[in-house]
Amino acid sequence: MNQLVLWLPAISLISALLTHLLGDVLGRSVVKISIVGAAAVLALSACLLGFSLLGGDPHLHMIGASWGGLLFDPLSALMALMIAGVSFLVRVYSIRYMAEEPGYVRFFVLLDVMTACLLIMIAAGDLVTLIISWHLIGLLLYFLLGHDTRSHPAYRYGFWSLMICRLGDLPLVMAALLLFHNYDSWWLPEIFEKIAAAPDALTFLDLPVVEVAGGLVALSAFARSAQFLLHTWLPYAMEGPTPVSALMHAGIVNAGGILINRFAPVYVHTDGVLHWVFVVGLFTAIIGSVLMLSQNDVKKSLGYSTMGQMGFMVMECGVGAFSLAIFHLIAHGLFKGTMFLSAGGVIGEARHDDGVPKEDLYTFIVERRSPAYKQPWLIMAVTTLAVPIFVLFLSHWVIAPDLFQKQGAVVLLFFGWVTGAQLLFSTYHMGVQNPWRLVGLIIVSFVIVVIGYTLISHTLDRFLYPNPEFVVQLYRAASIDILSFSVLVSITALVIVVGWLRVYYQHRHRRDENRSSGSLWLNFYALISREFYINDFYAGLYRSLLSLSSRLNILLRWG
């Protein structure tokens, strides 16, 4: 049964070949071959996951002697189903969406090949196969984004994404060469076994192998998952066809979380790598969420939203919650892929009728007006701060009482607390006449979401990493000394509590905003509307390099 992992990419490649060869004979109806192939891959991947859930042991299928093989394990089985499912939906959607586009058949061929490369990437059993599939995914993404050769923006930003992907390939290649040099093998299971046997091995300049390799793998994940300063390609890649924007959430833009999970046996022996992974993810989550709010283009706003979510995904890896990152990328991939596919329909319907009832929620969000009546600010503030943290701690204590001994879990609980508090504050800010009914509904929804998330995340944790000691080692690798952690948590919690109380009090007793405050917010909005001038910096750097090359050509008489 576990040999199905070999058939998954094979079926996609066969489908691509048949679609290409029979295109002239069958015309546009040839894309039915691609649909049938995608359905077959989806069915086989479901069988593969079922076999893994029933206790199928991980197995490496070696095709070549020294490299070239696919690995059947819980991670590859789970991700195969997710990729196959999104890929199938994108194909069905593209039948009509791409019907009037030139290169109709070519588009489905590219989808088939991309699906095959994604399936190979998530199941790669050796470093060479991983690098080849990783590289091809970036290359195929360029062709898919620039499918409409008449669109100059699509071509430009497709090339932009290609360059960032190529930049991200280099650290992965360097990590592979470093691991092969020190362990004399391309096979990942063998390398991981040797690392576990000798985790303190040193390499060039007496640098620790696992620290350097883990850092290089993380850099490659940053580029592919659009982390800050390497993120500029993602929101502008939305110029490509909408089906491609949806397909990007099936293991392309969220491939960073998959890659870090694949190298989890490396990160359990690292010391400081996961700390800066957390910092990069946190900063990306904040920047992406802020930039999302300033966009007036739906797809670009969704692109920055994806950037923020990829930051959360990387941040979860940084605190040691590797399986939670997989859960996050699956849930977000399905959710955001659906949003991209339905974005056009939503825009079309909104042009005729927004469909929003003229109630308190509408007057607050759309008309920016709040009723005059306000609830007691102190009661609402205490409710906002106390209820989310009570729900979070109670649900986790019931399911996993030892969770609070892990620093990473405490950090995630903190972010859940802030999110729940923001949701309740928004209810108070609306100023509805009877907010307690709405607050009650929000709390019930929050409880259901938290309990569902907790159950799924802990179940997924046991499925992906059945060895409890390994999970403890991951959290330990992401931890800092207990005194520093306690001080940071206490200070941060105190600042948050005081900040919320101040916000509530000022909102209840606020007067007209003074000019300095209005000017400050205006300047901040100008800053985020220009996307922190990062794109301007890259454009200026690009022009400077072109100018320098022109001067060198003249100086050296090359042209």
Which tens digit of pLDDT belongs to each residue from 309-326?
999 999 989 988 898 899
Distance of alpha carbon 109 from alpha carbon 74, whole angstroms: 29
* Residue 62 pLDDT > 80: yes
Q: Which residue has the higher pLDDT, 370 or 127?
A: 127
Report the interhelical angle of 407-430 vs 482-509 (nearest 10°). Answer: 0
412 and 446 part of one domain: yes
Residue 143 lies in a domain: no
Q: pLDDT per residue over 89-108, tens digit each? A: 999 999 998 888 888 999 99
> What local confidence, expressed as pLDDT, does residue 429 receive?
58
**In the listed set 510, 532, 547, which residue is the last one of a domain according to the structure?**
510
320 and 401 part of one domain: no
Nearest CA to 116 out of 133, 128, 135 is that of 133
* Residue 175 pLDDT > 70: yes
Mean pLDDT of all residues in the chain? 83
Residue 145 near residue 237, CB atoms below 8 Å: yes
- DSSP reduced 3-state for 71: strand
* Residue 423 pLDDT > 80: no
Give residue 111's Cα distance to chain centre: 20
Tell me the average pLDDT across 359-385: 56
57 and 165 part of one domain: no
Would you place residue 16 in the very low, low, confident or very high pLDDT band (cuts 50, 70, 90)? very high
Residue 444 lies in a domain: yes
> What local confidence, expressed as pLDDT, does residue 42 receive?
95
| From 9-13, 440-444, 498-502, the region with the lowest mean pLDDT | 440-444
407 and 448 part of one domain: yes
Residue 549 lies in a domain: no
Split into its structural domains, the chain has a count of: 3
> What local confidence, expressed as pLDDT, does residue 2 receive?
76
Q: State which residues form the domain around 75.
A: 1-125
Residue 78 lies in a domain: yes
* Residue 158 pLDDT > 90: no
Residue 473 lies in a domain: yes
Strand partners, 126: 187
385 and 452 part of one domain: yes
Distance of alpha carbon 408 from alpha carbon 477, whole angstroms: 10
Residue 192 lies in a domain: yes
Tell me the average pLDDT across 344-371: 57
Cα distances (angstroms) measured from residue 65 to each of 100, 186, 187, 188, 258: 47, 10, 10, 14, 26
**In the listed set 334, 354, 374, which residue is the last one of a domain according to the structure?**
354
411 and 295 part of one domain: no
Q: pLDDT per residue over 473-508, tens digit each? A: 888 888 887 777 778 877 877 877 787 677 767 666
304 and 366 part of one domain: no
256 and 389 part of one domain: no
Predicted TM-score (pTM) of the model is: 0.85
Q: pLDDT per residue over 107-152, tens digit each? A: 999 999 999 999 999 999 999 999 999 999 999 999 999 888 788 8
Would you place residue 296 in the very low, low, confident or very high pLDDT band (cuts 50, 70, 90)? confident
Other beta carbons within 10 angstroms of residue 318's beta carbon come to 26
Tally helices (H) and strands (E) across the chain. Answer: 24, 2
365 and 487 part of one domain: yes
413 and 279 part of one domain: no
Residue 130 lies in a domain: no
Would you place residue 422 in the very low, low, confident or very high pLDDT band (cuts 50, 70, 90)? low
* Residue 439 pLDDT > 70: no
Would you place residue 227 in the very low, low, confident or very high pLDDT band (cuts 50, 70, 90)? very high
Residue 394 lies in a domain: yes
209 and 347 part of one domain: yes
* Residue 400 pLDDT > 70: no
> What local confidence, expressed as pLDDT, does residue 44 receive?
95
> What local confidence, expressed as pLDDT, does residue 129 receive?
96
Distance of alpha carbon 390 from alpha carbon 396, whole angstroms: 10
> What local confidence, expressed as pLDDT, does residue 181 receive?
93
> What local confidence, expressed as pLDDT, does residue 512 receive?
47
> What local confidence, expressed as pLDDT, does residue 553 receive?
84
> What local confidence, expressed as pLDDT, does residue 517 receive?
57
> What local confidence, expressed as pLDDT, does residue 223 receive?
93
161 and 217 part of one domain: yes
Tell me the average pLDDT across 200-212: 87
**In the listed set 125, 157, 179, which residue is the last one of a domain according to the structure?**
125
Would you place residue 404 in the very low, low, confident or very high pLDDT band (cuts 50, 70, 90)? low
> What local confidence, expressed as pLDDT, does residue 446 receive?
67
% of the chain exceeding 70 in pLDDT: 78
> What local confidence, expressed as pLDDT, does residue 525 receive?
79
* Residue 426 pLDDT > 80: no
Q: Which residue has the higher pLDDT, 380 or 252?
A: 252
